[in-house]
Structure 1
Amino acid sequence: MLFGGIVVLACSFASAAVTLRVGAVETGALAVQTDLQVGHTLTAADLRAVKGSMDANLVPPGMAQKVIGRQTKVPLMAGTLVTENVVGDPAFPQPGLAVVGVAVKPGQYPPDLAPGDRVSVSPIPETGAMTDANTKMKAVVAVVTKVDRPEQPQNPAVVTLLLPQTDAQSVSAPIAQGLVSLMQISPEAP
């Protein structure tokens, strides 16, 4: 009976310690409400308070004035938690990376493509024969940063991609000719 009492007492102390620790950590943070482009000046309307674990880099809701009025350094997707590292002088793309816009027709990209998706940019043949530009081009991997869908379905969509600068240079000619397709790949794919 004494042993049972000690176990119950130990469990009570452990439960209290966990509850106090979790309560101290759960303070909340700021998140962006909509997708924001590089260089966007943050306003109070762009931000919302969310519950969650407090990390040293996250901006708590009570400190919103630290980021309001400052520009975003990188594109932010809706729901992204705000840190002081994402505001300041725009620094996008980072050195060694490039941003490329690709006009793609229906059938050249997955219809549900969204920012954050990884894609393989692959050459497609021009009228049955490969041109010099796309015979030299190998498929490259990129991250979608934006998708502008057309109002008229027959018009091309414009997909903005982030990829290594050397890969961007190798795909620029086929992209300009409209001779690429985008294939969504797994986030874990090499």
Structure 2
Amino acid sequence: MRTSEKPVANGLSGPASRKLPVPPRERKPALAALAVLLILGGALATTLLVLRSGDRISAIRVTQQVGAGQPFTAQSIEEVQIADTGINYVSWSQRANVLRSFAAVTVLPGTLLTNEMGVRASQELGPGKAKIGLALKPGQAPAGLKEGDRVQVIHVPGRSSQEKSEVLAESALVFDVGEPGRTGGSGVITVIVDSSVSPEVAGFASSGEIAVAELPGAR
């Protein structure tokens, strides 16, 4: 008795027979080239930044407060080496020109000097201005006055006078502050006022009838 045999199907059977052929991936040389350029560009930029950060330039740093209208002095500036950041700091080689100029604004210690901070001629010391020295007694000036501050110059009549106090200069620039006196006074304070009131200020100052009031924040 013959055993019946099942016919064998040609080819693969099961899941393998249902797989479709995968087309080969298309190469995109343009994208590959762009990626290489981006990598190289980033590396170049990083290298330039590192090299740039290593560049040092000689600049001028202010060591003492220089009030608006006051001249820069050899004692108020020093040379420092800083990284070249592209900011237009004044080079130490230009210090001779700086010492012939005046502060356009009040410059604080530690400031790196730029061209905008200096002017060739001071409006405070120009025509129509006068410097007056005031030898003030205790109570006639606030403590801590310094060069570059702004003050009101006030006529304070004596106790026996019937006159009232009067402001002679609304915003005078403190040009110099001397050492305090031994008796506790403020020492000699030099202020710049309009020449039209300087005789009056000098007259009252000689009789001890002048006081100054600081104007915080005024420059």
Q: Number of residues paired by the alignment?
A: 159
Q: Which has the larger radius of gyration?
A: 2
2:168 to 102, 119, 139: 139
Q: Cα gap change, 1:170/1:73 in structure 2, threshold over 3 Å: closer, same or farther?
A: farther
Q: CA RMSD in A?
A: 4.3
CA shift in 2, pair 1:46/1:100, >3 Å: same
Q: State the distance in 1 between where 2:125 and 2:215 align.
A: 22
* Aligned partners of 2:124 and 2:192 also within 8 Å: no
Distance in 2 between residues matched to 1:103 and 1:95, nearest whole Å? 25
2:126 — aligned with what? 94
- Name which of 144, 165, 169 aligns with 1:112: 144
Residue 86 of structure 1: how far off its partner (Å): 4.8
Q: For residues 63 and 143 of structure 2, what CA distance do their matches in structure 1 show?
A: 24
Deviation at 1:110, TM superposition (A): 0.4
Q: Does 1:47 align with 2:75?
A: no
Aligned with 1:162: secondary structure?
strand
Which has a greater percent of helix? 1
Q: 1:159 aligns with which of 178, 183, 189?
A: 189
Q: Which amino acid aligns with 1:116?
A: G
> Secondary structure of 1:150's partner?
coil
Give the aligned partner of residue 200 of structure 2: 170
| Distance in 1 of aligned mates of 2:142 and 2:86 | 35
Q: Aligned with 2:176: secondary structure? A: strand
- Give 3-state SS (helix, strand or coil) of 2:197's partner: helix
Give the secondary structure class of the aligned counterpart of 1:93: coil
Q: Where in structure 2 are there 5+ consecutive unaligned residues?
A: 1-44
1:103 aligned partner: 135
Structure 1 residues 175, 151: closer, same or farther in 2, change over 3 A? closer
What fraction of aligned residue pairs are identical, expressed as a percent?
22
Is the 1:59–1:83 contact (alpha carbons within 8 Å) kept by the matching residues of 2?
A: yes
Structure 2 Cα separation of the partners of residues 174 and 48 of structure 1: 44
- What are the superposed Cα offsets for residues 82-120 of structure 1, whole Å, 9 maximum, x if unpaired? 649858799972222221111111100101112222111
Question: Which TM-score applies when normalising by structure 1?
Answer: 0.60
Tell me the alpha carbon deviations over residues 103-139 of structure 1, each in whole angstroms, 9 at most, x when there is no partner.
11110010111222211111112242057xx87x643
Task: Please report the TM-score for the alignment, with normalisation by the length of structure 2.
Answer: 0.53
